[in-house]
């Protein structure tokens, strides 16, 4: 973890005096923490006093009999005792205790949090709900000792527990005192607290999300859940934490992988941000976490424990936005030591409300257990640059654009089910060959965007609306088209049978391929009974592929053959997001007759033939007469809106009524001619609306 430095030698000395005579239970500060002198209340608690306008009869004192033990700490010590003299009375009550600082201190750029151990005396009277009230730390700012209240915590139970209070970035440049407040409505009697082991977080750019305090060992931790669509998993709170403190803990994530050397498995957990939704792209640059693999975990044959990723969940659609570490979306966990990992935040993450933790890989051989602690954001220390705007003519016709926040997001359109002729697009049972053709008018450059994929999926029956039938559906045929060196092309034939929720069969060894001198042009998949062939744009035909009568029978259906044909694209890498293909034509023929042929030259997509099956903006259709322009701009763009005007003298800027989509690290909007300002000229700009 990065260590920050205080601004001067004199400031360091002043911080060392803050709360003198309060604590020391550590032999030394942990990484990223500063301990004031006597910070564990070894010999007394001077300076602390009850605020006499709060609950009458309350008092602060030194307790030499109670100490919160810390691994490596002193054998004998004391604590600060705070008697909160509440009564059995309706309404709100509070008791406040304050210690003045020797001189005003700036916490800005120096202190990221205040942390200590707290214990509720068993003789205290609980509220009807079983808790003992809401505990807060208040920084007293400026000449008026204004209150800067830090996010609080509800006290439950009577064991020592670690509590951490994040310090805001601004408004803390002249701190005169530190106050501790306990309060709540419907308190029923006195509550006595002991406080020990006070520390300051001296990595101020790191904003604490969770230090995993206040849990119950063996039980689930508030805000965590297993994603039930993934391989079975469970989470629970445990102690000690990474510093060896029994008053704080970690979250244990159990990934109950099976011994499957030929398959891919993944287990996914999601955590609700306790502070609510944040504009992560604007406010933060990194999300950080300490991670350790339990020694009881089962490694893969290669020695690692799978690929660990931290994903941001964004907006109302819970978009899956990957983070970046060392140029990749994740890291292989390779040993059983603690590692501090920092993941770069994507510029599109403007409304993050949850964090998702994923471990997945091929050839996992058994359970993997992770311990997770010290979850933080790193603040942006400088404001992000304003967006940069660009303009290009829009193309008429059909484009398939990779707009999903998931690098593996599929972007398809599929043949609309025809209840009047259910077997219209099926090859099973046909006495003639059936061909499925995909004419690509453009394709991303192979050198710049390796791994980008176009595809044809053939799925029997009436599958669901998922965009990834190659994963979800049990049976399907897959023609996988990729660019190669010099923008040549390669197509691979893939087949799976009876493997719902998986895809290892699709990526078996020894699959048939066909090469082409160019990736642009007409790719065709032909079925003739059990025999399949692929034809490339340069006319090369693959070797015949016999899928066998049993597999072919799965496409027949119990009530007659029925089939959906999908035509789509997939980025397969973070850098490929936002790339697209222009589709010149799609055709399905039976023998010499076309049962579907569409060159996408009309004024709108024909939804009697096609059903879009992609993230917003993934299936883009432009009418020739109103194609307009494509406006793109860089991210982040919080608060910016697209405006237009017909002239600059005078100007009359109005909001352009279009819905932008996110393409990788950029935003993009198609502006039809019909929404541009009237007249022979138009000007566009991005304008930041002030809150």
Verdict on whether the full-model pTM lies above 0.85: no
- Residue 493: pLDDT band (50, 70, 90) is very high
Q: Which of the two residues, 663 and 309, has the higher pLDDT score?
A: 309
By CB atoms closer than 10 A (0-12, 13-18, 19+), residue 287 is buried
CATH at 164? 2.60.120.260
Closest C-alpha to 179, from 140, 145, 133, 132: 140
Closest C-alpha to 69, from 3, 33, 25, 9: 25
The whole-number average pLDDT for the span 611-630 is 89
* Same structural domain, 246 and 285: yes
- Of 321, 347, 379, the domain-final residue: 379
Mean of pLDDT over the chain: 89
Has residue 382 got a pLDDT over 90? no
Provide the β-strand partners of residue 581: 400
**Predicted local distance difference test score (pLDDT) of residue 19:** 31
**pLDDT tens digits, 256-297:** 999 999 889 999 999 999 889 999 998 999 999 999 999 999
**pLDDT tens digits, 37-81:** 557 788 889 999 999 999 999 999 999 988 886 544 444 589 999
* Same structural domain, 256 and 162: no
Q: How many domains does the chain have?
A: 4
Tokens for 231, please give them.
């391989």
CATH at 612? 2.60.120
* Same structural domain, 92 and 150: yes
Has residue 9 got a pLDDT over 50? no
* Same structural domain, 559 and 682: no
Task: Please name the residue that has the structure tokens 């159990």.
Answer: 254
Closest C-alpha to 516, from 488, 493, 483, 482: 488
**Predicted local distance difference test score (pLDDT) of residue 5:** 24
* Same structural domain, 301 and 438: no
* Same structural domain, 598 and 661: no
* Same structural domain, 301 and 410: no
**Predicted local distance difference test score (pLDDT) of residue 39:** 74
* Same structural domain, 680 and 591: no
* Same structural domain, 26 and 165: yes
Question: Is residue 512 in some structural domain?
Answer: yes
CA distance 77 to 73: 9
Give kind and range of the element (H or E) at residue 178: strand 175-185
By CB atoms closer than 10 A (0-12, 13-18, 19+), residue 629 is middle
**Predicted local distance difference test score (pLDDT) of residue 132:** 97
- By three-state DSSP, how is residue 691 classified? coil
Question: Is residue 4 in some structural domain?
Answer: no
Closest C-alpha to 68, from 165, 210, 215, 194: 194
* Same structural domain, 343 and 412: no
Has residue 202 got a pLDDT over 90? no
**Predicted local distance difference test score (pLDDT) of residue 10:** 31
CA distance 634 to 353: 23
What percent of the chain has a predicted confidence (pLDDT) above 70?
A: 93
Question: Is residue 2 in some structural domain?
Answer: no
What is the DSSP code string of 52-87? TTSSTT-EEEEESS-----TT--SS--EEEEEE---
CA distance 418 to 413: 15
Bridging pattern class, strands 134-141 and 521-528: unpaired
**Predicted local distance difference test score (pLDDT) of residue 539:** 97
- Of 344, 379, 414, the domain-final residue: 379
> In this structure, are residues 566 and 577 in contact, taking their beta carbons and an 8 Å threshold?
no
Question: Is residue 216 in some structural domain?
Answer: no
What is the DSSP code string of 441-454? S----TTTSTT-EE
Give the contacts of 317 (CB within 8 A, at least 6 positions apart): none
Q: For 10-14, 154-158, 295-299, 590-594, which range has the lowest pLDDT when averaged over its residues?
A: 10-14
* Same structural domain, 291 and 411: no
**Predicted local distance difference test score (pLDDT) of residue 521:** 98
The whole-number average pLDDT for the span 447-456 is 97
Question: Is residue 213 in some structural domain?
Answer: no
Give kind and range of the element (H or E) at residue 472: helix 469-472
The whole-number average pLDDT for the span 513-524 is 98
- By three-state DSSP, how is residue 16 classified? helix
- Residue 531: pLDDT band (50, 70, 90) is very high
Give kind and range of the element (H or E) at residue 435: strand 434-440
Has residue 2 got a pLDDT over 80? no
Question: Is residue 343 in some structural domain?
Answer: yes
Question: Is residue 292 in some structural domain?
Answer: yes
Q: Which domain holds residue 547?
A: 395-622
- By three-state DSSP, how is residue 674 classified? helix
**Predicted local distance difference test score (pLDDT) of residue 466:** 94
Give kind and range of the element (H or E) at residue 9: helix 9-17
- Of 173, 204, 235, the domain-final residue: 204
Has residue 333 got a pLDDT over 90? yes
Has residue 28 got a pLDDT over 90? no
Question: Is residue 387 in some structural domain?
Answer: no
The whole-number average pLDDT for the span 627-653 is 89
**pLDDT tens digits, 560-572:** 799 999 999 999 9
**Predicted local distance difference test score (pLDDT) of residue 26:** 31
* Same structural domain, 412 and 297: no
Any idea what the Cα angle at residue 33 is, between residues 30 and 37, rounded to 5°?
Answer: 95
Closest C-alpha to 561, from 672, 450, 462: 462
Tokens for 629, please give them.
């322009």
CA distance 561 to 552: 11
């Amino acid at each position: 973890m990065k260590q920050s430095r205080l601004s001067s030698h004199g400031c360091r000395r002043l911080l060392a005096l803050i709360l003198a005579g309060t604590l020391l239970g550590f032999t030394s500060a942990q990484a990223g923490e500063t301990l004031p002198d006597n910070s564990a209340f070894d010999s007394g608690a001077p300076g602390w006093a009850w605020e006499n306008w709060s609950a009458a009869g309350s008092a602060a004192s030194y307790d030499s009999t109670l100490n919160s033990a810390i691994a490596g700490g002193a054998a004998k010590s004391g604590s600060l005792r705070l008697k909160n003299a509440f009564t059995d009375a309706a309404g709100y009550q509070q008791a406040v205790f304050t210690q003045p600082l020797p001189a005003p201190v700036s916490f800005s750029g120096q202190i990221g949090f205040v942390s200590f151990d707290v214990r509720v005396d068993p003789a205290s009277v609980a509220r009807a709900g079983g808790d003992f009230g809401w505990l807060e730390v208040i920084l007293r700012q400026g000449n008026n000792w204004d209150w800067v209240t830090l996010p609080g915590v509800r006290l439950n139970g009577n064991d020592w527990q670690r509590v951490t209070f994040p310090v805001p970035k601004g408004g803390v440049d002249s701190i005169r005192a530190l106050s501790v407040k306990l309060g709540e409505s419907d308190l029923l009697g006195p509550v006595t607290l002991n406080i020990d082991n006070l520390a300051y977080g001296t990595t101020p750019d790191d904003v604490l999300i969770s230090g995993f305090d206040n849990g119950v060992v063996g039980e689930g931790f508030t805000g965590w859940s297993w994603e039930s669509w993934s391989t079975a998993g469970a989470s629970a709170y445990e102690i000690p934490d990474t510093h060896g403190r029994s008053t704080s803990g970690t979250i244990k994530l159990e990934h109950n992988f099976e011994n499957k050397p030929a398959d891919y498995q993944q287990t996914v957990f999601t955590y609700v941000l306790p502070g609510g939704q944040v504009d992560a792209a604007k406010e933060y640059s990194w999300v950080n976490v300490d991670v350790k693999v339990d020694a009881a975990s089962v490694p893969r044959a290669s020695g690692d424990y799978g690929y660990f990723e931290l994903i941001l969940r964004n907006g109302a659609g819970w978009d899956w936005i990957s983070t970046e570490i060392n140029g990749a979306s994740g890291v292989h966990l390779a040993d059983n030591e603690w590692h501090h990992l920092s993941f770069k935040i994507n510029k599109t993450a403007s409304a993050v409300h949850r964090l998702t933790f994923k471990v997945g890989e091929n050839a996992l051989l058994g359970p993997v257990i992770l311990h997770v602690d010290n979850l933080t954001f790193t603040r942006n220390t400088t404001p992000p640059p304003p967006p940069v705007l660009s303009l290009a003519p829009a193309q008429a016709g059909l484009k398939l654009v990779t707009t999903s926040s998931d690098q593996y997001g599929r972007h398809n359109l599929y043949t609309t089910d025809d209840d009047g002729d259910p077997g219209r697009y099926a090859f099973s049972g046909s006495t003639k060959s059936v061909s499925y053709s995909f004419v690509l008018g453009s394709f991303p450059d192979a050198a710049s965007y390796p791994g980008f994929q176009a595809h044809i999926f053939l799925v029997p029956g009436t599958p669901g609306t998922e965009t990834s039938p190659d994963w979800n559906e049990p049976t399907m045929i897959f023609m996988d088209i990729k660019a190669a060196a010099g923008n040549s092309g390669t197509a691979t034939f893939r087949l799976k049978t009876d493997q719902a929720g998986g895809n290892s069969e699709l990526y078996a060894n020894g699959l048939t391929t066909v090469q082409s001198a160019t990736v642009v042009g007409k790719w065709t998949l032909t079925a003739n009974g059990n025999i399949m062939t692929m034809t490339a744009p340069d006319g090369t035909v693959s070797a015949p592929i016999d899928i066998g009568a049993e597999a072919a029978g799965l496409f027949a259906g119990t009530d007659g053959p029925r089939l959906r044909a999908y035509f789509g694209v997939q980025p397969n890498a973070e850098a490929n997001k936002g790339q697209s293909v222009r589709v010149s034509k799609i055709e399905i023929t039976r023998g010499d007759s076309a049962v579907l042929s569409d060159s996408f030259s009309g004024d709108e997509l024909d939804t009697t033939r096609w059903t879009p099956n992609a993230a917003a903006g993934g299936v883009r259709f432009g009418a020739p007469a109103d194609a307009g322009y494509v406006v793109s701009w860089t991210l982040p763009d919080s608060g910016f809106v697209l405006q237009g005007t017909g002239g600059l003298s005078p100007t009359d800027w109005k909001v352009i009524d279009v819905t932008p989509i996110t393409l990788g690290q950029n935003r993009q909007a198609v502006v039809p001619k019909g929404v541009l300002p009237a007249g022979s000229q138009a000007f566009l700009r991005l304008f930041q609306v002030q809150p």
